[in-house]
């Protein structure tokens, strides 16, 4: 399977949709286009890429689609295509986390630049997300006691303080602590603190 | 009142009404002959209305499935009905043209956007020397396609504003309605109003003028969209449906706007009755004047309180059986 990301184009106007599709292919991008938000939702899955989306569409609007994707936990970057008089909608879209917008008539070179940025953003978000998943999996492998120790360590408590709090020996705390560091694959206390912010939030 | 020949005892008609009618008549007619005929009609009508006071539009015993009574129509639509057919067709064409001005930019912006995109990319590729000859042919084809589409839009618009378009011909009703809907869709999308159509699977063939049907339905759709926009209702939808009936065909436009009060159900069909800052108040009056000579009816459904519902009934006489 090729891992080249896909530019998903959603526009309810067939002519405009085809024009965008064709133009992006000329730039060597991999493109899939959809005539409606609904058809995109049923086909997209979780594939990497970015979304080029018309703000105004029949049926589910661009903003509605953005909301649904957000509710599904998708972090696919969105570039909105806006027309004349769409400023309020655009502001709303950006507040809701759209990465970018381009105005109609769309300048091709501008669109391509924005798309490449959005694809990079998607990659960044994905690797961050993959990292978070990985950390949560490691955390799952810790025992209840080890998790307690991890929490207290990352709160800045010393081994002695933890020992007193948990009514165990400092020696045992040290053992737990070492196990936590190996299982979590943390090379320093700072790294462990970062990981704690992922799993303990 | 001052208008000679009209007895001052005409209570069902407000004096202002009478004056408005006379004035609009004077404004509409150039031939003194027709003017006189129309004045006579108006007076006869006024006399008749003295004998039979107008029916209440929301009477409880009224069979609400039927257009309000067998009474001809709201009296003030009469002045338009009295126009010679060609004049009426001209007025209707101009009124539709005025309304379509609002649609045109949305309608044409799409093919133009596509054309701009294609030519933009093609010239960039040409400059960098990376456009293959067959790709050039391909993009020219695509541009041609969009140009053709723009031309078709203009042709459809032209069909709707024809002033000689009243000639009946064998018409696929749903096809004609679908074209009107297609015209107004980009505007509806821009106003965030959803349009739904509900057509029977079987084609409905009628011997009517496409222009007339298209104009009336466009007027109704415009009114619905304008009503929703003006009221800013949360629900923003319009439904157009077609119901073949033993006695003819009924076309219904139903919207989620603020609705029409029963006491306004007949008033709004009068010429120059408008609650809009930029409205002429002619859309419904013209629509009625267009359809009644063909034996059709156009009325507000008084049962519906949830948004507005208007029915257009096209009679059986104009209803030829589907081709078999
Ligand atoms: N669907 C509707 N919902 C609510 N009110 C309506 C609806 N359709 C018509 N009306 C009312 O009826 C009035 C008359 O409508 P009509 O179409 O005759 O004129 P207009 O829309 O005001 O002006 P125009 O000549 O531009 O059509 C409108 O001003 C509006 O108040
Ligand atoms: Mg109107």
| Same-domain check for residues B123 and B84 | no
Domain stop point among B119, B138, B157: B157
Judged by CB atoms closer than 8 Å, whether chains meet at B185 and A58 is answered as yes
Q: What is the CATH classification number for the domain harbouring A58?
A: 3.40.50.2300
| Same-domain check for residues B200 and B57 | yes
What pLDDT is recorded for position A60?
A: 83
| Same-domain check for residues B116 and B236 | no
Q: State which of B232, B268, B288, B299 you would mutate to test the pocket of ligand 1, scoring each by most atoms of that ligand within 8 A of its C-beta.
A: B268
The answer to whether residue A116 is domain-embedded is: yes
Judged by CB atoms closer than 8 Å, whether chains meet at B117 and A13 is answered as no
Q: What is the CATH classification number for the domain harbouring B214?
A: 3.30.565.10
| Same-domain check for residues A18 and A49 | yes
What pLDDT is recorded for position A90?
A: 74
Round to whole Å and give the CA distance between B98 and B79: 21
Domain stop point among A129, A150, A168: A129
Question: What residue numbers bound the domain in which B127 lies?
Answer: 105-157
| Same-domain check for residues A125 and A147 | no
Q: What is the largest CA-CA distance in chain B?
A: 86
| Same-domain check for residues B111 and B257 | no
What pLDDT is recorded for position B317?
A: 58
Residues in Cβ contact with B268 at an 8 Å cutoff, skipping those fewer than 6 apart: B260, B281, B284, B300
Q: What total number of domains does chain B contain?
A: 2
| Same-domain check for residues B200 and B74 | yes
Chain A hits for B111, CB-CB cut-off 8 Å, are 15
Tens of pLDDT, residue by residue over B154-177, are 888 888 887 776 678 888 999 999
Angle at A148 between CA A145 and CA A149, to 5 degrees: 90
Output the average pLDDT for chain B. Answer: 77
| Same-domain check for residues B121 and B262 | no
Q: Which of A23, A38, A59 has the most B C-beta neighbours within 10 Å, making it the best mutation to test the interface with B?
A: A23
| Same-domain check for residues B134 and B202 | no
What pLDDT is recorded for position B40?
A: 53
| Same-domain check for residues A104 and A33 | yes
Lowest mean pLDDT among A47-56, A132-141, B42-51, B195-204: B42-51
Judged by CB atoms closer than 8 Å, whether chains meet at A58 and B195 is answered as yes
What pLDDT is recorded for position B66?
A: 53
Rounded to a whole number, what is the distance in Å from the CA of A52 to chain B's nearest CA?
Answer: 15
| Same-domain check for residues B90 and B138 | no
| Same-domain check for residues A111 and A18 | yes
Domain stop point among B121, B136, B157: B157
Round to whole Å and give the CA distance between A166 and A160: 10
| Same-domain check for residues A109 and A166 | no
Whether residue B192 contacts residue B236, with contact meaning beta carbons closer than 8 Å, is answered with: yes
Question: What residue numbers bound the domain in which A171 lies?
Answer: 141-199
| The ligand 1 atom nearest the CA atom of B253 | 1
| Same-domain check for residues B58 and B170 | yes
Rounded to a whole number, what is the distance in Å from the CA of A13 to chain B's nearest CA?
Answer: 7
Chain B hits for A19, CB-CB cut-off 8 Å, are 113-115, 117-118, 142, 146
What pLDDT is recorded for position B84?
A: 79
B312 Cβ closer than 6 Å to some ligand 1 atom? no
| Same-domain check for residues B18 and B151 | no
pLDDT per residue rounded down to tens, chain A (201 residues): 457 899 999 998 899 999 999 999 999 999 999 999 999 999 887 889 999 998 878 778 888 899 999 898 888 999 998 876 677 777 777 777 777 888 877 888 889 999 999 999 999 999 988 899 999 999 999 999 999 999 999 999 999 999 999 999 999 999 999 999 999 999 999 999 999 998 887
Report which of residues B12 and B95 the model is more confident about: B95
B257 Cβ closer than 6 Å to some ligand 1 atom? yes
| Residue B310: pLDDT over 90 | yes
The answer to whether residue A54 is domain-embedded is: yes
Judged by CB atoms closer than 8 Å, whether chains meet at A20 and B121 is answered as no
| Same-domain check for residues A113 and A18 | yes
| Same-domain check for residues A147 and A188 | yes
| Same-domain check for residues A113 and A156 | no
Q: Is the ipTM of this complex over 0.95?
A: no
| Same-domain check for residues B182 and B84 | yes
What pLDDT is recorded for position A46?
A: 82
Of A61, A107, A108, the CB nearest to B192: A61
Domain stop point among A105, A129, A153: A129
| Residue B58: pLDDT over 70 | no
Q: CA nearest B141 in A: which residue?
A: A19
Q: What total number of domains does chain A contain?
A: 2
Tens of pLDDT, residue by residue over B245-273, are 887 899 999 999 999 999 999 999 988 88
What pLDDT is recorded for position A185?
A: 94
What pLDDT is recorded for position B165?
A: 65
Rounded to a whole number, what is the distance in Å from the CA of B117 to chain A's nearest CA?
Answer: 6
Report which of residues B47 and B111 the model is more confident about: B111
Band of residue B294 on the pLDDT scale cut at 50, 70, 90? confident
Judged by CB atoms closer than 8 Å, whether chains meet at A26 and B121 is answered as yes
Q: What is the CATH classification number for the domain harbouring A146?
A: 1.10.10.10
| Same-domain check for residues B17 and B151 | no
- The token pair at B170 is 């064998």
- The token pair at B212 is 């007339």
What pLDDT is recorded for position B2?
A: 40
- In sign, the C-alpha dihedral spanning B105, B109, B112, B116 is positive
Domain stop point among A67, A96, A129: A129
Chain B hits for A105, CB-CB cut-off 8 Å, are 112-113, 116-117, 120
| Residue B324: pLDDT over 50 | no
Band of residue B80 on the pLDDT scale cut at 50, 70, 90? confident
| Same-domain check for residues A92 and A184 | no
Residues in Cβ contact with B1 at an 8 Å cutoff, skipping those fewer than 6 apart: B8, B15, B18, B19
| Same-domain check for residues A147 and A60 | no
| Same-domain check for residues A105 and A21 | yes
| Same-domain check for residues A69 and A46 | yes
Whether residue B131 contacts residue B155, with contact meaning beta carbons closer than 8 Å, is answered with: no
| Residue B134: pLDDT over 60 | yes
HEC readout, A50-94: EEEEECCCCCCCHHHHHHHHHHCCCCCCEEEEECCCCHHHHHHHH
Rounded to a whole number, what is the distance in Å from the CA of A105 to chain B's nearest CA?
Answer: 6
Band of residue B42 on the pLDDT scale cut at 50, 70, 90? low
Q: Helix or strand or coil: residue B121?
A: helix
| Residue B14: pLDDT over 60 | no
């Amino acid at each position: 399977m090729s891992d080249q990301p896909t530019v998903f184009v959603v526009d309810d106007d067939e002519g405009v949709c085809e024009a965008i599709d064709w133009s992006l292919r000329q730039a060597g991008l991999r493109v899939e286009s959809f005539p409606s938000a609904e058809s995109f939702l049923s086909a997209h899955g979780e594939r990497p890429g970015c979304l080029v989306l018309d703000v105004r569409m029949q049926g589910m609007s661009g903003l509605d689609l953005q909301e649904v994707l957000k509710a599904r936990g998708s972090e696919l970057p969105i570039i909105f295509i806006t027309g004349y008089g769409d400023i309020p909608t655009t502001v709303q879209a950006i507040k809701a986390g759209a990465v970018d917008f381009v105005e109609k008539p769309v300048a091709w070179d501008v669109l391509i630049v924005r798309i490449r940025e959005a694809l990079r953003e998607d990659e960044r978000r994905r690797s961050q997300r993959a990292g978070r998943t990985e950390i949560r999996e490691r955390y799952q492998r810790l025992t209840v006691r080890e998790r307690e120790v991890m929490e207290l360590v990352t709160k800045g408590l010393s081994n002695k303080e933890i020992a007193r709090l948990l009514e165990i020996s400092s020696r045992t705390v040290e053992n737990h602590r070492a196990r936590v560091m190996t299982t979590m694959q943390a090379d320093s206390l700072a790294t462990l603190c970062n990981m704690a912010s992922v799993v303990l939030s | 009142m001052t208008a000679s020949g009209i007895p001052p005892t005409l209570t069902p008609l407000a004096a202002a009404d009478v004056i408005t009618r006379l004035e609009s008549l004077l404004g509409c007619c150039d031939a003194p002959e027709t003017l006189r005929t129309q004045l006579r009609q108006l007076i006869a009508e006024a006399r008749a209305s003295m004998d039979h006071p107008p029916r209440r539009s929301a009477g409880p015993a009224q069979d609400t499935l039927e257009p309000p009574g067998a009474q001809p129509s709201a009296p003030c639509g009469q002045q338009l009905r009295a126009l010679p057919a060609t004049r009426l067709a001209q007025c209707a064409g101009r009124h539709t043209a005025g309304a379509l001005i609002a649609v045109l930019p949305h309608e044409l912006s799409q093919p133009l956007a596509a054309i701009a995109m294609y030519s933009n990319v093609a010239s960039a590729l040409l400059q960098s020397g990376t456009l293959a000859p067959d790709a050039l042919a391909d993009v020219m084809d695509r541009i041609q396609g969009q140009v053709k589409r723009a031309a078709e839009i203009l042709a459809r618009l032209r069909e709707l504003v024809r002033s000689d378009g009243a000639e009946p011909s064998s018409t696929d009703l749903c096809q004609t309605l679908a074209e009107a809907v297609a015209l107004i869709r980009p505007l509806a999308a821009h106003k965030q109003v959803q349009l739904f159509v509900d057509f029977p699977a079987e084609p409905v063939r009628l011997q009517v003028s496409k222009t007339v049907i298209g104009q009336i339905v466009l007027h109704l759709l415009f009114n619905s969209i304008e009503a929703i926009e003006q009221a800013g209702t949360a629900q923003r939808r319009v439904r157009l449906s077609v119901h073949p009936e033993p006695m003819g065909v009924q076309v219904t436009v139903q919207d989620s706007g603020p609705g029409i009060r029963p006491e306004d159900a007949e008033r709004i069909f009068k010429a120059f009755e408008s609650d809009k800052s930029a409205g002429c108040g002619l859309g419904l009056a013209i629509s009625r004047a267009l359809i009644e000579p063909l034996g059709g009816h156009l009325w507000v459904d008084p049962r519906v309180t949830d948004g507005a519902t208007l029915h257009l009934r096209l009679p059986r006489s104009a209803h030829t059986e589907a081709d078999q």
